[in-house]
Amino acid sequence: MKSKRPDSDPAVSPARSAAFDILIRVDRESSYASELLHSRTYDRLSVVDHSLATELVMGVLRWRSLLDVQIAGVSAQPLSKLDLEILTALRLAVYQLGWLDRVPARAAINESVELVKRARKRSAASFVNAVLRKLASSSLGRQFSQSMLNGSSAEGLASSSAHPRWLIERWTQAFGIETAHRICEYDQSVPTTAIRIRHPEAEAQLKAEGVEVVRGVLLSSARRVVHGDITKSAAFRGGLCGIQDEASQLVAALVGRGANILDCCAAPGGKTAAIADRNPTADIVAVDLHPHRARLLQTLRRGNYRAEAHSPNVQVVAADAQRLPFATRFNRVLADVPCSGTGTLARNPEIKWRLTPEDLAALQVRQVAILRSAMTQVTDGGRLIYSTCSLEREENEDVVELALAQDSSFRVIDCRGELEQLRQEQELVWPDASGLTRGPYLRTFPGVHPCDGFFSAILEKI
Residue 252 inside a domain? The answer is yes
Higher pLDDT, 86 or 288: 86
**Does residue 357 share a domain with residue 259?**
yes
Residue 4 inside a domain? The answer is no
**Does residue 173 share a domain with residue 201?**
no
Integer-rounded Cα radius of gyration of the chain: 23
Predicted confidence (pLDDT) at residue 305 exceeds the cutoff of 50: no
Helix (H) / strand (E) containing 313? none
Higher pLDDT, 313 or 59: 59
Summary mean pLDDT of the chain? 90
Q: Which of 91-95, 126-130, 168-172, 302-306 is predicted with the least confidence, judged by mean pLDDT?
A: 302-306
The Cα–Cα gap between 295 and 290 comes to: 9
pLDDT band, very low/low/confident/very high, at 43 (cuts 50, 70, 90): confident
Among residues 65, 1, 66, 54, which one has the least CA distance to residue 23?
Answer: 54
**Does residue 206 share a domain with residue 238?**
yes
How confident is the model at residue 296, as a pLDDT? 62
CATH classification of the domain holding 99: 1.10.940.10
Residue 1 inside a domain? The answer is no
Percent of the chain with pLDDT over 90: 80
pLDDT band, very low/low/confident/very high, at 290 (cuts 50, 70, 90): confident
CATH classification of the domain holding 342: 3.40.50.150
Q: Of 226, 242, 258, which one is at a domain's C-terminal end? A: 242
Q: Which of 26-30, 309-313, 328-332, 400-404 is predicted with the least confidence, judged by mean pLDDT?
A: 309-313
How confident is the model at residue 70, as a pLDDT? 94
Q: What is the mean pLDDT of residues 251-259?
A: 95
pLDDT tens digits, 175-232: 999 999 999 999 999 999 999 998 889 999 999 999 999 999 999 999 999 999 998 8
**Does residue 343 share a domain with residue 429?**
yes
**Does residue 391 share a domain with residue 264?**
yes
Predicted confidence (pLDDT) at residue 9 exceeds the cutoff of 70: no
Residue 80 inside a domain? The answer is yes
Residue 256 inside a domain? The answer is yes
Read off the DSSP letter of residue 193. Answer: P
Predicted confidence (pLDDT) at residue 141 exceeds the cutoff of 60: no
The Cα–Cα gap between 295 and 457 comes to: 28
How confident is the model at residue 102, as a pLDDT? 87
Among residues 429, 443, 412, 391, which one has the least CA distance to residue 247?
Answer: 443
**227 exposure class (CB count in 10 Å sphere: 0-12, 13-18, 19+):** exposed
Q: Of 84, 112, 145, which one is at a domain's C-terminal end? A: 145
Q: Of 84, 111, 145, which one is at a domain's C-terminal end? A: 145
The Cα–Cα gap between 405 and 154 comes to: 34
**Does residue 165 share a domain with residue 35?**
no
Burial 232-265 (b: 16+ CB within 10 A, else e): ebebbebbbbbebbbbbbbbbbbbbebebbbbbb
Q: What is the mean pLDDT of residues 7-23?
A: 86
Q: What is the mean pLDDT of residues 359-381?
A: 98
How confident is the model at residue 13, as a pLDDT? 95
Predicted confidence (pLDDT) at residue 145 exceeds the cutoff of 60: no
Query: Residue 146, SS3?
Result: helix
pLDDT tens digits, 69-117: 999 999 999 999 999 999 999 999 999 999 998 889 999 999 999 999 9
Backbone angles phi, psi at 378, to 5 degrees: -95, 135
**Does residue 181 share a domain with residue 115?**
no
Q: How far is CA 325 from the centre of its chain?
A: 30
Predicted confidence (pLDDT) at residue 441 exceeds the cutoff of 80: yes
Residue 2 inside a domain? The answer is no
Q: What is the mean pLDDT of residues 54-77?
A: 96
The Cα–Cα gap between 301 and 218 comes to: 28
pLDDT band, very low/low/confident/very high, at 2 (cuts 50, 70, 90): very low
Range of the domain at 164: 149-187
**301 exposure class (CB count in 10 Å sphere: 0-12, 13-18, 19+):** middle
The model's pTM is: 0.92
Residue 6 inside a domain? The answer is no
Amino acid letter for position 244: Q
**Does residue 425 share a domain with residue 299?**
yes
Residue 306 inside a domain? The answer is yes
Domain total in the chain: 4
Q: Name, in order, each residue with C-beta under 8 angstroms of 391's C-beta and a sequence gap of 6 or more.
A: 171, 174, 175, 183, 342, 343, 445, 453, 455
Predicted confidence (pLDDT) at residue 375 exceeds the cutoff of 50: yes
**Does residue 387 share a domain with residue 272?**
yes
**Does residue 223 share a domain with residue 164?**
no
How confident is the model at residue 81, as a pLDDT? 96
How confident is the model at residue 308, as a pLDDT? 30
**Does residue 129 share a domain with residue 44?**
yes
**Does residue 437 share a domain with residue 295?**
yes
Predicted confidence (pLDDT) at residue 311 exceeds the cutoff of 60: no
Q: Name, in order, each residue with C-beta under 8 angstroms of 178's C-beta and a sequence gap of 6 or more.
A: 151
Predicted confidence (pLDDT) at residue 453 exceeds the cutoff of 70: yes
The CA-atom distances, in angstroms, between 276 and each of 244, 255, 258, 279, 281 are: 15, 11, 10, 5, 8
The Cα–Cα gap between 33 and 454 comes to: 21
Backbone angles phi, psi at 379, to 5 degrees: -75, 160
Predicted confidence (pLDDT) at residue 295 exceeds the cutoff of 70: no
| Cis status of the peptide bond prior to 268, with omega within 30 of 0 | yes
pLDDT band, very low/low/confident/very high, at 309 (cuts 50, 70, 90): very low
CATH classification of the domain holding 214: 3.30.70
Predicted confidence (pLDDT) at residue 321 exceeds the cutoff of 80: yes
**205 exposure class (CB count in 10 Å sphere: 0-12, 13-18, 19+):** middle
Q: Which of 290-299, 312-321, 370-379 is predicted with the least confidence, judged by mean pLDDT?
A: 290-299
